[in-house]
């Protein structure tokens, strides 16, 4: 048993290390090609129009700032469709007060079935902003209602607690301009806690003062810069974050839109797209853009973080199980033959093996059935490699994007990269183990929306901070 656990921990870390090297090469190549001049000014007018769908439920603290952020997007033609999914707080009222929404007799074509839509509202102040007010049906149902209402062939889904930089939309849409085969594109999500936002604009990049959201900074760097960047060149990306992604509307409608019977609607959609397009023998691409394009507030208390991770693990299980036919299918490609088995063995079953491995090795060591040498090797494999991966993610971030430029920020980032492997990572594995276990034994209670306590401490009035130019934010300056 002890050797099985040791081999597994070595295998999973070796797999992640390979992904790291692939990602590092791709990011260096990407920065060399695009950092100097992302899009020539003459080509900006040829960017396709985009509809931004913003699903919201009980987001009165952040939704107005998110819409203001989207309105400052540096993009030639776009619209914003906010979907109020039966909020029980003042989300609807806050939107009406901030943007002057009025009911309009607009035709609503229900190509995707959703809960009842109460009405469509247009802003009296911004001609490209509308609101869909509907009965609560969950996040997937809200996105589907927004897709029914959008006017453009491309739509971008953004969470209501997210802030975009002015160039974010241009960067994530660019793959559609470069390659006609692209059907979906996802961007990086960064931690907003510790930053400052003024009038919808990111005005200061910073790190959280508390350790819990700080550990999530490292976690997000590892997941996006290494995990997803590594799969993209193989056309094996199975996840585009629900917080920020762009899709062809007709392709999403063709597969029935977002499923409302899963808590992992974002991953499920992408996996179904892979499965459907490969079955139909289409030549397609689903890509990832490594720029720091989207900022989101992460949980600051253990209860919210636990609920979020349990929900994510259940969503992973549901997405894999309902699309198991993709794995090792004749036309599965890298998505079906490499990425899907990886997700099944290391992401779905991984927490179970990790928790059982930790507990078993500690118990066996205490009763004297495991030698000190084997136990130390196990610790090095389980913890040491985790530290290496986290530090690698931090170093790549600093060498490529350099958002945390101050020496004290870099020192704190390094400390978090090391310390998150001593307790936080294991606690996260326990939560994911619980999510996997409850799904396996049939406790599949449906979660319509994940509740996270929002602090909104990143929002500041114009008097407090001077807004930074977009290029200074992108370069990582931490000064107002």
At residue 191, φ and ψ (nearest 5 deg) are: -80, 125
Q: What angle do CA 454, 455, 457 make, to 5 degrees?
A: 140
Please state whether the predicted TM-score (pTM) of the whole model is above 0.75: yes
Integer Cα distance of 302 and 426 in angstroms: 14
9-348+450-475 CATH pick, 3.90.550.10, 3.30.70.600, 2.60.120.10, 3.30.420.40:
3.90.550.10
The residue among 377, 333, 379 whose CA lies nearest residue 358 is 379
Residues 6+ apart with CB under 8 A from 277: 183, 251, 284
Q: Residue ranges of the domains in the chain?
A: 9-348+450-475
Integer Cα distance of 333 and 327 in angstroms: 9
Integer Cα distance of 345 and 342 in angstroms: 5
pLDDT tens for each residue of the chain, 480 residues long: 667 777 887 788 788 888 888 888 888 888 877 765 555 565 667 789 999 999 999 988 889 988 998 999 989 999 999 999 999 999 999 999 999 999 998 878 889 999 999 999 999 999 999 999 999 999 999 999 999 999 999 999 999 888 888 888 998 998 998 899 999 999 999 999 999 888 777 888 899 989 999 999 999 998 887 788 899 999 999 999 988 999 999 999 999 999 988 888 999 999 999 999 999 999 999 999 988 678 998 999 999 999 999 999 999 999 999 999 999 999 999 999 999 999 999 999 989 988 988 888 888 888 888 778 877 877 777 788 888 888 888 888 877 777 888 889 999 999 999 999 999 999 999 999 999 988 988 755 555 555 566 565 555 544 443 333 333 333 333 333
């Amino acid at each position: 048993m002890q050797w099985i656990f040791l081999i597994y921990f070595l295998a999973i870390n070796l797999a992640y290390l390979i992904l790291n090297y692939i990602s590092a090469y791709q990011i260096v190549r990407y920065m060399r090609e695009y950092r100097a001049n992302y899009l020539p000014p003459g080509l900006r007018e040829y960017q396709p129009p985009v509809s931004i769908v913003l699903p919201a439920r009980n987001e009165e603290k952040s939704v107005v700032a998110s819409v203001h952020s989207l309105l400052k997007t540096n993009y030639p033609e776009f619209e914003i469709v906010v979907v109020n999914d039966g909020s029980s707080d003042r989300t609807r009222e806050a939107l009406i007060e901030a943007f002057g929404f009025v009911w309009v007799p607009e035709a609503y074509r229900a190509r995707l079935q959703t809960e009842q839509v109460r009405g469509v509202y247009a802003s009296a102040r911004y001609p490209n902003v509308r609101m869909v007010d509907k009965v609560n049906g969950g996040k997937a149902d809200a996105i589907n209602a927004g897709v029914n209402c959008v006017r453009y062939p491309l739509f971008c889904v953004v969470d209501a607690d997210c802030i975009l930089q002015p160039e974010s939309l241009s960067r994530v849409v660019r793959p559609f301009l470069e390659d006609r085969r692209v059907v979906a594109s996802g961007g990086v999500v960064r931690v907003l806690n510790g930053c400052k936002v003024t009038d919808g604009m990111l005005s200061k990049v910073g790190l959280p003062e508390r350790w819990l959201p700080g550990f999530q900074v490292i976690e997000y760097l590892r997941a996006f810069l290494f995990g997803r960047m590594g799969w993209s060149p193989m056309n094996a990306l199975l996840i585009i974050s629900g917080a920020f992604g762009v899709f062809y509307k007709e392709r999403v409608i063709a597969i029935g839109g977002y499923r409302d019977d899963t808590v992992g609607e974002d991953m499920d959609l992408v996996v179904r797209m892979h499965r459907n397009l490969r079955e139909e023998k289409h030549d397609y691409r689903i890509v990832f853009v490594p720029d720091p394009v989207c900022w989101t507030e992460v949980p600051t208390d253990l209860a919210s973080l636990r609920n979020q991770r349990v929900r994510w693990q259940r969503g992973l299980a549901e997405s894999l199980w309902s699309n198991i036919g993709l794995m090792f299918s004749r036309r599965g490609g890298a998505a079906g033959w490499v990425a899907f088995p990886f997700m099944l063995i290391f992401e779905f079953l991984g927490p179970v093996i990790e928790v059982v491995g930790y507990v078993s090795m500690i118990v066996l060591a205490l009763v004297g059935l495991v030698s000190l040498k084997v136990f130390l090797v196990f610790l090095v494999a389980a913890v040491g490699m985790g530290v290496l991966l986290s530090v690698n993610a931090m170093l790549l971030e600093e060498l490529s994007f350099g958002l945390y430029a101050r020496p004290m920020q870099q020192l704190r980032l390094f400390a978090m990269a090391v310390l998150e492997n001593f307790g936080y990572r294991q606690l996260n594995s326990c939560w994911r183990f619980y999510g996997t276990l409850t799904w396996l034994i049939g406790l599949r209670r449906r979660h319509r929306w994940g509740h996270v306590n929002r602090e909104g401490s990143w929002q500041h009035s114009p008097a407090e901070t001077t807004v930074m130019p977009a290029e200074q934010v992108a370069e990582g300056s931490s000064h107002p």
